Amino acid sequence: MPTVVPPRDLTRSAIAVTLGLFVAQLFVASRLELMFDEAYYRLWAEHLDWGYYDHPPGVAAWIRLSSALFGHTDFGIRALGIIATALGSLAIWAMARDLFADAQKAALAVLIWCACPLVGVGGLVVTPDTPLMVGWTTALVALCRVYRTGDWRWWLLVGAATGVALEAKYTALFLGPGIVLAMLLVKSMRRWWTHPAPYAGGAIAFLIFAPNVVWNARHGWQTFGKQFGRVAEADWTLRFLFEFLGGQIGLMNPLTFVLVIAAIGLAWRSVGDGEDESRKLLAALAAPLVAFFVFHSLHDRVQANWMAPLFPLFVLMAADAAISAHARAAWAAMLVAFARRWTVPLGLVLTAAVYVQALYAPIPLPGRSDPTALLAGWRQLSADLADVARREGASYALTQGYALTGLLKAYAPSDLAVMQFNERYRWAFDATAREPEASATGLYVVEERRAGDVGPRPRFESSKEVARLERRRLGKTLEGYTVYRLDRPKGAILDPVDARPQ
């Protein structure tokens, strides 16, 4: 068990696992096609701006930088994120040493971090969570330095990192309340209320975030409206709460979740200063976002990855509980001991299983029930669609979803224009996307599961089915698509780009 492993040996294991995960992610990421979100955000990166309909610009800038450094390929898009995941181990180690001054806990925290499926699997793909976690985690590292050293200059990094996180995803707004709560509950942090450094950090965060605020003001507050519009009145239900908890258990791995629950018990009983104070600091930083999403899950769905920026805190809490928790009930003590011994092996096995399924699909799951199937078959599907376009003399293809649009645009040849006919507000960033010529022949490609949706076909005098295509992986069909030929539009083909969602 970790409690009897010498700190030096545990540190060596942490280094070995971090490097092993890094190499495995490089290998797997180089062999998987883009996820639909990555394909969509790749297009943002080609048209950089201070905001987009769905999110702030952080992920677009991230992909632009990664591609510039590592090449304009699927792997190049992901490479910087995989490096950041590996550097996350160093951040976890630094925070644990500052909070606990314990080499054993620091090494174990790194091992638990690497064993989280969120890290091992989620780290393969680039989403707004990627730059969000980099900014949020950097802010946490700097805050732990404030806690340990009392050096006011670290507050400036807290502010700068928070601003970067805000430019990635508005979830970072909850960093502020967490810091305020920590300054209220943690005795050694209270002195900062009368020091200018935290306020200077807040000003830096706002200055970095301000360009996105200005962009929103100039574009009808569209991103704010979409993201903050999620907080809407709805019927109360426990259904989404159980979904939310299940998602967190899956992304942490079940045994790490057990240790986090044990850590909450430790924090609840914490009194005084020293190590107990560090537990209160972790709990305070996590509490606002946890409380918000728990509340939100009582009336609407919360995607499991939305809690991603808190996982560094959860990992630190789990490592602390693994070594320091002493459950009073015999069954609880046995459960914690079991989790302590097996959480890292279990997490690594789960991550490896996902890698194997993504690469070789040994388990014959139906395409729609296998999440790894979303990372395969798009290149060939796009080539097949291009063949149909050449045969039919079509110069453009219409779709009805941003996911399919982004993926076809990523892999289709440049002479075939791919456009989403609806939700044009998503594509306002691309000034090159224009209404097709009325004389041109087009295609409409749609998933067979949506075959009952006529899409843009009523906008044309002539619409006829011309092909059935399949997206395949290792010779097995993942999903079918129907292709229609479109001729002689009756009027406008695309929805107005300034039409707002209802």
- The answer on pLDDT for 270 being more than 70 is no
Long-range contacts of 386-392 (CB under 8 A, 24+ apart): 386/412, 386/413, 386/416, 388/443, 388/466, 388/467, 388/469, 388/483, 389/416, 389/443, 392/441, 392/443, 392/466, 392/485
For residues 358-373, give the mean pLDDT: 89
Task: Please list, residue by residue across 33-57, b when 16 or more beta carbons sit within 10 angstroms of its beta carbon and e when fewer do.
Answer: bbbbbbbbbbbbbebeebbbbbbbb
Any idea which of 197-206, 207-216, 219-228 has the lowest mean pLDDT?
219-228
Would you state the pLDDT for residue 329?
76
For residues 387-392, give the mean pLDDT: 97
Give the residue carrying structure tokens 């070789």: 360
Helix (H) or strand (E) holding 145: helix 129-149
Closest CA to 484 of 472, 466, 460: 466
Would you state the pLDDT for residue 274?
47
Q: What is the CA radius of gyration of the chain?
A: 25
- The answer on pLDDT for 268 being more than 80 is no
Q: What are 100-140's pLDDT values in tens digits?
A: 999 999 999 999 999 999 999 999 999 999 999 999 999 99
Distance CA 13, CA 18 (A): 8
Angle at 34 between CA 374 and CA 484, to 5 degrees: 65
Would you state the pLDDT for residue 254?
95
Would you state the pLDDT for residue 3?
45
For residues 314-328, give the mean pLDDT: 88
Distance CA 111, CA 120 (A): 11
Distance CA 263, CA 324 (A): 9
Task: Tally Cβ neighbours within 10 Å of residue 414.
Answer: 6
Task: Please state the domain extents for the chain.
Answer: 2-360, 377-489
Would you state the pLDDT for residue 452?
80
DSSP sequence for 43-104: HHHHS--S--SSS-SHHHHHHHHHHHHH-SSHHHHHHHHHHHHHHHHHHHHHHHHHHH--HH
For residues 249-271, give the mean pLDDT: 86
Closest CA to 10 of 340, 335, 483: 340
Helix (H) or strand (E) holding 110: helix 103-114
Give the residue carrying structure tokens 């800038």: 61
- The answer on pLDDT for 415 being more than 50 is yes
At residue 228 the predicted structure's pLDDT band, cuts being 50, 70 and 90, is: confident
Would you state the pLDDT for residue 234?
63
Any idea which of 125-134, 198-207, 256-265, 425-434 has the lowest mean pLDDT?
425-434
Query: Reduced to 3 DSSP states, what percent helix, strand and coil does the chain have, rounded to the nearest 5?
Result: 65, 10, 25
Q: Which one has a higher pLDDT value, 496 or 407?
A: 407
Per-residue tokens: 52: 């987009």
Q: Is 146 exposed, middle or buried (0-12, 13-18, 19+ CB in 10 A)?
A: buried
For residues 437-446, give the mean pLDDT: 95
Q: Which residues pair with 482 in a beta bridge?
A: 446, 468
Most confident stretch, 5-14, 230-239, 253-262 = 253-262
For residues 251-257, give the mean pLDDT: 95
DSSP three-state, residue 462: strand
Would you state the pLDDT for residue 1?
39
| pTM for this model (two decimals) | 0.93
Q: Characterise 55 by phi-psi region: left (phi > 0), alpha (psi -120 to 50), beta (else).
A: beta
DSSP sequence for 303-354: -GGGGGGGHHHHHHHHHHHHHH---SSHHHHHHHHHHHHHHHHHHHHHHHHH
The proportion of the chain whose per-residue pLDDT surpasses 90, expressed as a percent, equals 81
For residues 78-83, give the mean pLDDT: 97
- The answer on pLDDT for 177 being more than 60 is yes
What's CA 163's distance to the chain center, in Å?
Answer: 18
Distance CA 304, CA 306 (A): 6
Would you state the pLDDT for residue 267?
74
Any idea which of 194-208, 210-224, 272-286 has the lowest mean pLDDT?
272-286
Would you state the pLDDT for residue 361?
93
At residue 369 the predicted structure's pLDDT band, cuts being 50, 70 and 90, is: confident
Closest CA to 62 of 152, 154, 134: 134
Average pLDDT, the chain: 92
Residue type, 450: R
Would you state the pLDDT for residue 189?
96
- Is residue 348 within 8 A of residue 28, CB to CB? The reply is no
Per-residue tokens: 402: 């941003």
Closest CA to 222 of 481, 5, 495, 497: 497
CA atoms within 13 A on the CB side of 429: 23
At residue 273 the predicted structure's pLDDT band, cuts being 50, 70 and 90, is: very low
Would you state the pLDDT for residue 227?
85
Distance CA 80, CA 70 (A): 8
Task: Tally Cβ neighbours within 10 Å of residue 323.
Answer: 16
- The answer on pLDDT for 432 being more than 90 is no
